[in-house]
């Protein structure tokens, strides 16, 4: 065991873990961070960053190949090896930078699998052996893993999860995606932009997490572009069909199939929390998730948890926020987690973003509200970018206070933060409309949508 106990030991080096480690170290705490794989967790290594890097490159290729931007190329094709190499370079650079920042702050980094043997003691095991550490407080930020798909043939070569597909060396010509989830549809757009024929299958929903009015618009757009999307189907099995894989599914009592040289399973994630020693110590669970209270405390004294391992929204920025709430409570600053204003983005082509309430939620809660819709086609910057489809939709209560924003179109993931800040501060739509926005910018569309709230309803019809 180390000579002196740490003030804080953190299990998991993802965004929840490293955010807490850095902030705690800067507050003068002696911090240990244990990570069994790569610093940065899923988001940096196998999620947010690599997929957005590849999406950016895929969109560049798609736009150049379209011939609509004053460019002409003979024999233009994607160089998938270079695309993967750039993705790896971006990830490695950020990971190395993260390690440097943590080490400079004095965080003690330990590689290996961590397990609690007591609320104030953890053992970290690596190939070279085990180390035991004592700590006054513990934060569990162990993340999540892809849900295993359990149908016949799901273990065949070429059936990949959202982590494995990022390292597949060959660009698929035909790709079948099981799961019209956020990650499933981002991959669908990525590979379609690179020229693949994409088929998406889902049992129930098309991007369940998104505003369904905007999700329907996106679904229509993608179908018009040639993507095959089947919602309400039951996948029965996956089989080898020559050089391809065939996914057999039933739809309204009829059996059909879709073939691809790869199959991506994107049906969600499950908390990574079963091998931490918590259950053996008596910690409470809610199914697979670690049970916590509003202060992110587990039922073990001095042990907190944050991020995907406690369920909830399973978003990287939520994990970072939760780890900050946990740290404040560890430091004796009573803080309860508040999820009323959480922006969410879907990085499809085009994007969907939202924060606060949508129309269905406002109606369900009995909140009187007014909605305005501003078409992105009226925005000069959007037109200059060549992506005119989209909409900004703002909801305000009877007093004119902004309570929700739903956005669809080019670059809307960069616009949702303004809406989130306005909602959090209790700003009115007039406050947003009267704030000078630079011209020409995408952000002007938010101000224009806000200004419509002062227009009589009849004038908007």
pLDDT band at 457 (very low <50, low <70, confident <90, very high): low
Residue 350 binned pLDDT confidence (cut-offs 50, 70, 90): very high
Non-local (6+) Cβ contacts of 425 within 8 A are: none
* Dihedrals phi, psi of 132, to nearest 5 degrees: -110, 135
Query: What token pair was written down for 127?
Result: 């190939």
Q: pLDDT tens for residues 22-46?
A: 999 999 999 999 999 999 999 999 9
The full set of domains in the chain, from first to last, is 6-146+270-330 (3.50.50.60), 159-267 (3.50.50.60), 350-460 (3.30.390.30)
Classified as helix, coil or strand, 439 is coil
Helix, strand, coil shares, percent, the chain, to 5: 35, 30, 40
Q: Is the pLDDT of residue 459 over 60?
A: no
Report the pLDDT averaged over residues 207-223: 96
How far is 297 from 294, CA to CA, in rounded Å? 7
Residue 329: pLDDT band (50, 70, 90) is: very high
pLDDT at position 395 over 90: yes
Q: What is the mean pLDDT of residues 281-296?
A: 96
Which is higher by pLDDT, 459 or 9?
9
Q: How confident is the model at residue 180 (pLDDT cuts 50, 70, 90)?
A: very high
103 secondary structure, DSSP code: H
439 is known as an active-site residue: yes
What is the C-alpha separation between 55 and 48, in angstroms, rounded?
10
pLDDT at residue number 460: 53
pLDDT band at 3 (very low <50, low <70, confident <90, very high): low
- What is the average pLDDT across 68-90? 93
Cα end-to-end span (Å), the chain: 72
Enter the tokens of residue 396. 């305000």
Residue 1 pLDDT greater than 60, yes or no: no
Confidence of residue 4 (pLDDT cuts 50, 70, 90): confident
How many Cβ atoms are within 10 Å of 288's Cβ, its own excluded? 13
Q: What is the mean pLDDT of residues 80-101?
A: 98
Catalytic residue selected from 108, 317, 369, 439? 439
Query: Are 83 and 57 within 8 A, CB to CB?
Result: yes
Q: Cβ of 381: how many Cβ atoms within 10 Å?
A: 17
Give the rounded percent of residues in the chain with a pLDDT score beyond 90: 93
Query: Rounded mean pLDDT of the chain?
Result: 95
Give the span between the Cα atoms of 393 and 359, in whole angstroms.
10
User: Using one digit for the tens of pLDDT, what is the confidence trace for 97-128?
Assistant: 999 999 999 999 999 999 999 999 999 999 88
Q: What pLDDT was estimated at residue 273?
A: 86
**CA atoms of 74 and 346, how far apart (whole Å):** 33
- Taking the C-alpha atoms of residue 319 and residue 309, their distance in angstroms, rounded to an integer, is 9
* Total count of residues recorded for the chain: 461
The C-alpha atoms of residue 210 and residue 403 are separated, in whole angstroms, by: 17
Name every residue whose Cβ is closer than 8 Å to that of residue 85 and which is 6 or more positions away in sequence.
Answer: none
Structure tokens at 413: 């993931």
pLDDT band at 461, cuts 50/70/90?
Answer: very low
- Over residues 217-276, the pLDDT tens digits come to 999 999 999 999 999 999 999 999 999 999 999 998 899 999 999 999 999 999 998 889
Q: Residue 186 and residue 87: Cα distance in Å, rounded? A: 16
pTM: 0.94
45 φ, ψ to 5°? -100, -30
């Amino acid at each position: 065991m180390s000579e002196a106990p740490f003030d804080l030991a953190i299990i998991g080096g993802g965004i929840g873990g490293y955010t807490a480690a850095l902030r705690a170290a800067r507050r003068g705490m002696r911090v240990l961070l244990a990570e069994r794989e790569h610093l940065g967790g899923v988001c940096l290594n196998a999620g947010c960053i690599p997929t957005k890097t590849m999406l950016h490159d895929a969109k560049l290729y798609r736009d150049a190949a379209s011939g609509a931007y004053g460019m002409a190329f003979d024999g233009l094709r994607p160089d998938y090896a270079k695309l993967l190499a750039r993705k790896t370079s971006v990830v490695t650079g950020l990971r190395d930078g993260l390690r440097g920042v943590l080490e400079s702050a004095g965080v003690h980094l330990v590689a290996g699998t961590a397990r609690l043997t007591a609320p104030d003691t953890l053992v970290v095991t690596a190939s070279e052996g085990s180390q035991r550490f004592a700590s006054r407080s513990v934060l569990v930020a162990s993340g999540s893993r892809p849900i295993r798909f359990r149908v016949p043939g799901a273990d065949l070569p070429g059936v990949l999860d959202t982590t494995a597909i990022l390292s597949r060396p060959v660009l698929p010509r035909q790709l079948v995606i099981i799961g019209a989830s956020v990650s499933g549809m981002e991959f669908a757009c990525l590979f379609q932009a690179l020229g693949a024929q994409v088929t998406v299958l889902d049992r129930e929903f098309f991007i369940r997490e998104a505003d369904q009015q905007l999700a329907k618009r996106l679904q229509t757009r993608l179908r018009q572009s040639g993507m095959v999307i089947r919602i309400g189907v039951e996948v029965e099995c996956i089989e080898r069909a020559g050089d391809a894989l065939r996914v057999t599914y039933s739809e309204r009592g009829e059996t059909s199939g879709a073939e691809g040289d790869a199959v991506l399973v994107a049906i969600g994630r499950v908390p990574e929390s079963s091998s931490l020693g918590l259950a053996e110590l008596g910690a409470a669970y809610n199914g697979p998730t670690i049970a916590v209270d509003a202060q992110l405390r587990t039922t073990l004294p001095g042990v907190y948890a944050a991020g995907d391992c406690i369920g909830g929204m399973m978003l990287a920025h939520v994990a970072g926020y939760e780890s900050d709430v946990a740290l404040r409570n560890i430091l004796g600053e009573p803080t309860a987690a508040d999820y009323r204003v959480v922006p969410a983005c879907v990085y499809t082509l085009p994007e969907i973003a939202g924060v606060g309430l949508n129309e269905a939620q406002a109606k369900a809660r009995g909140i009187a509200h007014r909605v305005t819709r501003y078409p992105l086609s009226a925005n000069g910057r959007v037109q200059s970018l060549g992506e005119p489809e989209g909409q900004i939709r703002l909801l305000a209560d009877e007093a004119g206070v902004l309570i929700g924003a739903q956005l669809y179109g080019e670059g809307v993931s960069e616009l949702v933060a303004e809406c989130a800040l306005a909602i959090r501060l209790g700003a009115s739509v007039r406050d947003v409309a009267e704030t000078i926005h630079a011209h020409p910018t995408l952000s002007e569309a938010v101000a224009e949508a806000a200004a419509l709230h002062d227009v009589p309803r009849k004038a908007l019809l």
